[in-house]
């Protein structure tokens, strides 16, 4: 007789879905379906969540493996846990003894966002004093920009979207990357709301929006200032709100006055009537929600673009009327879970954006990778892969699947999938939390990440300071870290099966120097910080194109290729750009810059404007060369974030 088991998807995704795994009589997963108890995610599963049962059994790392030198291609030999842990621990102790703990690099990110799968396993590396990545690939620059004006980056609760009468998705394609938020927006439209999409590409969301604006890449600050100008000129600004809850109005108005209609149109490529129409929608539909995409700020000046857009809701009288990421609004003690608050000195940090060059130079002698596939996801990815291949670098990867990074490792340790272990996932969008118990037996000899961390800590004790808390019982850690984190209830209630809601800071809480929304920022003590957002248009060499990349509905980063096949190796080109280069539909084309060369198949479409091309995020071209081989490794000045969507390339037919 079949039965349903509750679980929670832990992927790096806006939605953090509650799901039900239906087990057959043998105890295996027959299908995945949505759990209707979550009011945000209960209506459907995305294409990834629906196929999790299939992904669990495909391309898995089932046993520990040792890398072996072969004929120029990687080979692996199955081994046992004792041998794999001993090999890893011996090399770790040797590296710390000879080169110091900073020569050890721990690379982790959001492949699994569970507290027990993603956070607690970092305790070993924090007590060791290993170098850590600074987590700047995705959200850092946008969050830094928002903090200048609001003190923290959190915004509105997406659960409130059905009550809004204007929803603007700015640099955000929720139909692909946040399907449940898109569902909530469409529910609002059924009640009379307008949906606007601002995106340089005609995305899946743009195709069905009520209005689509396509500004030139890098011109969003100009567009935001143009909208603000119309609001001031037409009486759309809530002056009473500004006087009570903001400072810096006069500085902002002086800047806005410099952005004349002609200047805005020249910068954005939009007709002034399009700018006016967006501003008038904000004026007339004051209960708005401005949804700012994460990928939007992965560009030159991305932090300034996010902060400029976020000021529009304040002008019409809304407390935090934007959404970007709500990870900073709660009361979960993540530093305790990771062990950062338990060590006397913080681990040294290294820019993830600029990491490839340092790895290629041999700066790190031992590299531990967990919950991340950096061989595909980092900028200058080909250079990073060269660094992993150095003979003087030892690479250990803990993963559920045979990723591109795992295939370059010296030791590969099998992690259990999220369906095979207990965990707790804290959403960074909505507020609903539920315990995710183990649903099925782990495949092969896979183990949970805390078990692996504690096993390695014991074996490498000679390199680590005395730290009994490395071996704390996981749920005891969570009980302490989550004290006061919920609107009533505790970890014990979660473990009994009761969903809880996170306790969050109020929308009118502004931890800025003034305690108000700072339309002109006053805290300027970090690199790149300026009182007002700056427009930084792309500087293009003759013949260069801007390359954009974003997610597809069936993939979470590089995950699910084992289910849906490889990411499409295509690039979308405007007909004018294809014609001028003699490029035909389906032909092979080379994208090249000073970082590398990637060959993809041409797709010709007006979905992108002239001067812009688009490729699926994290795809690979001919010969397996990653798209991110072309992405520059220079961090943004403000926040240190990436520049994926400002990558400049030359485009030519393959000879």
Say whether 146 sits in a helix, a strand or coil.
helix
328-368 confidence digits (pLDDT tens): 999 999 999 999 999 999 999 999 999 999 999 999 999 99
Backbone φ/ψ region at 184: left (φ over 0), alpha (ψ -120 to 50), beta: alpha
Cα torsion for 323, 325, 326, 327, to the nearest 10°? Answer: -170
* Domain's final residue, options 308, 324, 340: 324
> Which two structure tokens, joined as six digits, stand for 52?
């999790």
How many independent structural domains does the chain possess? 4
> Which two structure tokens, joined as six digits, stand for 574?
């405007």
> Which two structure tokens, joined as six digits, stand for 478?
């969570």
> Which two structure tokens, joined as six digits, stand for 221?
């600050």
> Are 254 and 165 found together in one domain?
yes
Instruction: Considering only CA atoms, give the Rg of the chain.
Output: 25
pLDDT at 655: 76
Beta-strand runs (E) in 325-473: 349-350, 366-370, 394-399, 411-414, 423-424, 432-433, 435-436
Examine the pLDDT at 434 and tell me if it is beyond 50: yes
Among 302, 322, 319, 315, residue whose Cα is nearest residue 248: 315
Instruction: Give the percent of the chain with pLDDT over 90.
Output: 96
Instruction: Give the structural domain span for 49.
Output: 3-56
Instruction: Give the percent of the chain with pLDDT over 70.
Output: 99
Is 277 within the bounds of a domain?
A: yes
Average pLDDT, rounded, for the chain: 96
Q: Would you mind telling me the total number of residues written for the chain in this entry?
A: 655
pLDDT at 429: 97
149-172 confidence digits (pLDDT tens): 999 999 999 999 999 999 999 999
Q: Do 338 and 122 contact (CB within 8 A), yes or no?
A: yes
> Are 353 and 441 found together in one domain?
yes
> Which two structure tokens, joined as six digits, stand for 332?
């979960």
* Domain's final residue, options 444, 471, 501: 501
Examine the pLDDT at 71 and tell me if it is beyond 60: no
Cα gap 637→300, rounded to integer Å: 9
Examine the pLDDT at 1 and tell me if it is beyond 80: no
* Domain's final residue, options 279, 303, 324: 324
Among 565, 562, 551, 627, residue whose Cα is nearest residue 399: 562
> Are 163 and 87 found together in one domain?
no
> Are 473 and 343 found together in one domain?
yes
Burial class (CB in 10 A: 0-12, 13-18, 19+), 496: exposed
Cα gap 496→486, rounded to integer Å: 15
- Enter the pTM of the model: 0.96
> Are 336 and 434 found together in one domain?
yes
> Which two structure tokens, joined as six digits, stand for 420?
């095979």
> Are 347 and 369 found together in one domain?
yes
Instruction: Show the CA angle centred on residue 615, arms to residues 612 and 621, nearest 5°.
Output: 125
Examine the pLDDT at 70 and tell me if it is beyond 50: no
Is 515 within the bounds of a domain?
A: no
Residue whose structure tokens are 């003590």: 525
547-558 confidence digits (pLDDT tens): 999 999 999 999
- Residues 66-75 as b or e (16 or more Cβ within 10 Å = b): bbeeeeeeee
**Residue 275 maps to which CATH number?**
3.40.228.10
Which helix (DSSP H) or strand (DSSP E) does residue 31 occupy?
Answer: strand 29-34
Which helix (DSSP H) or strand (DSSP E) does residue 590 occupy?
Answer: strand 588-593
> Are 186 and 115 found together in one domain?
no
Cα gap 625→501, rounded to integer Å: 44
594-623 confidence digits (pLDDT tens): 999 999 999 999 999 999 999 999 999 999
Q: Do 303 and 638 contact (CB within 8 A), yes or no?
A: yes
Is 147 within the bounds of a domain?
A: no
Is 519 within the bounds of a domain?
A: no
Cα gap 343→549, rounded to integer Å: 39
| CB neighbours of residue 561 within 10 Å | 21
The CA distances from residue 292 to 46, 97, 393, 399, 534, in Å, are 21, 46, 40, 31, 18
> Are 367 and 433 found together in one domain?
yes
Instruction: Show the CA angle centred on residue 551, arms to residues 378 and 191, nearest 5°.
Output: 140
191-228 confidence digits (pLDDT tens): 999 999 999 999 999 999 999 999 999 999 999 999 99
Is 526 within the bounds of a domain?
A: no
> Are 468 and 552 found together in one domain?
no
Is 287 within the bounds of a domain?
A: yes
> Which two structure tokens, joined as six digits, stand for 237?
């600004």
**Residue 391 maps to which CATH number?**
3.40.50.740
Cα gap 104→481, rounded to integer Å: 27
């Amino acid at each position: 007789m079949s039965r349903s088991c509750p679980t929670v998807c832990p992927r790096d995704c806006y939605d953090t879905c509650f799901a039900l795994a239906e087990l057959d009589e043998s105890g295996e997963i027959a299908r995945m379906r949505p759990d209707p108890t979550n009011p945000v995610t209960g209506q459907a599963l995305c294409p990834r969540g629906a196929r999790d049962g299939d992904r669990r059994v495909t391309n898995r790392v089932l046993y520990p493996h040792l890398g072996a030198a072969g004929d120029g291609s990687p080979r692996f030999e199955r081994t046992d846990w004792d041998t794999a842990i001993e090999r890893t621990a011996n090399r770790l102790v040797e590296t710390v003894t000879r080169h110091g703990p900073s020569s050890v690099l721990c690379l982790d990110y959001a492949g699994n966002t569970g507290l027990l799968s993603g956070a607690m396993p970092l305790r070993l590396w924090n007590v060791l004093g290993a170098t850590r990545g600074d987590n700047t690939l995705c959200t850092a620059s946008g969050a830094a920009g928002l903090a200048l004006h609001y003190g923290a980056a959190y915004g509105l609760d997406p659960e409130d979207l059905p009550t809004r009468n204007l929803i603007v998705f700015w640099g955000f394609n929720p139909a692909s990357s946040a399907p449940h938020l898109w569902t909530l927006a469409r529910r609002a439209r059924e009640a009379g709301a307008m949906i606007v999409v601002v995106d340089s590409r005609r995305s899946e969301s743009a195709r069905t929006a009520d209005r689509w604006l396509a500004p030139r890449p890098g011109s969003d600050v100009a567009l935001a200032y143009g909208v603000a100008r119309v609001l001031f000129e037409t009486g759309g600004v809530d002056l009473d709100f500004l006087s009570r809850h903001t400072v810096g109005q006069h500085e902002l108005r002086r800047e806005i006055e410099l952005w004349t209609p002609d200047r805005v149109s020249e910068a954005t490529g939009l007709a002034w009537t399009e700018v006016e129409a967006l501003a008038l929608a904000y004026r007339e539909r004051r209960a708005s929600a401005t949804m700012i995409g994460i990928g939007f700020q992965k560009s030159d000046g991305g932090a300034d673009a996010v902060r400029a857009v976020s000021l529009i809701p304040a002008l019409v009288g809304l407390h935090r009327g934007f959404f970007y990421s709500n990870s900073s609004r709660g009361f979960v003690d993540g530093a305790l879970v990771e062990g950062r608050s338990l060590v006397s000195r913080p681990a040294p940090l290294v820019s993830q954006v600029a990491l490839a060059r340092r790895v290629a130079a041999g700066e790190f002698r031992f590299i531990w990778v967990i919950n991340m596939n950096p061989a595909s996801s980092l900028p200058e990815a080909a250079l990073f892969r060269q660094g992993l291949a150095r003979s003087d670098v030892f690479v250990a990867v803990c993963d559920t699947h045979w990723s591109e990074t795992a295939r370059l490792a010296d030791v590969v340790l099998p992690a259990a999938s999220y369906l095979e272990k207990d965990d707790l996932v804290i959403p960074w969008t909505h507020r609903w939390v539920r315990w995710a118990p183990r649903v099925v037996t782990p495949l092969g000899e896979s183990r949970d990440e805390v078990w692996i961390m504690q096993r390695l800590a014991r074996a490498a004790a000679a390199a680590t300071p005395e730290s009994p808390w490395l071996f704390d019982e996981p749920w005891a850690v969570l009980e302490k870290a989550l004290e006061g984190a919920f609107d009533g209830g505790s970890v014990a209630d979660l473990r009994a099966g009761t969903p809880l809601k996170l306790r969050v800071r109020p929308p009118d809480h502004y931890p800025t120097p003034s305690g108000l929304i700072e339309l002109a920022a006053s805290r300027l003590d970090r690199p790149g910080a300026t009182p007002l957002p700056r427009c930084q248009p792309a500087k293009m060499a003759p013949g260069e194109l801007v390359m954009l990349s974003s997610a597809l509905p069936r993939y979470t980063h590089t995950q699910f290729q084992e289910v849906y096949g490889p990411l499409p190796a295509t690039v979308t080109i405007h007909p004018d750009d294809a014609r001028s280069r003699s490029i035909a539909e389906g032909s092979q084309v080379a994208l090249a810059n000073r970082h590398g060369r990637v060959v993809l198949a041409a797709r010709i479409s007006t979905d992108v404007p002239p001067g812009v091309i688009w490729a699926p995020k994290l795809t690979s071209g001919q010969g397996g060369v990653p798209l991110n081989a072309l992405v520059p490794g220079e961090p943004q000045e403000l926040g240190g974030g990436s520049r994926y969507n400002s990558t400049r390339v030359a485009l030519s037919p393959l000879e």
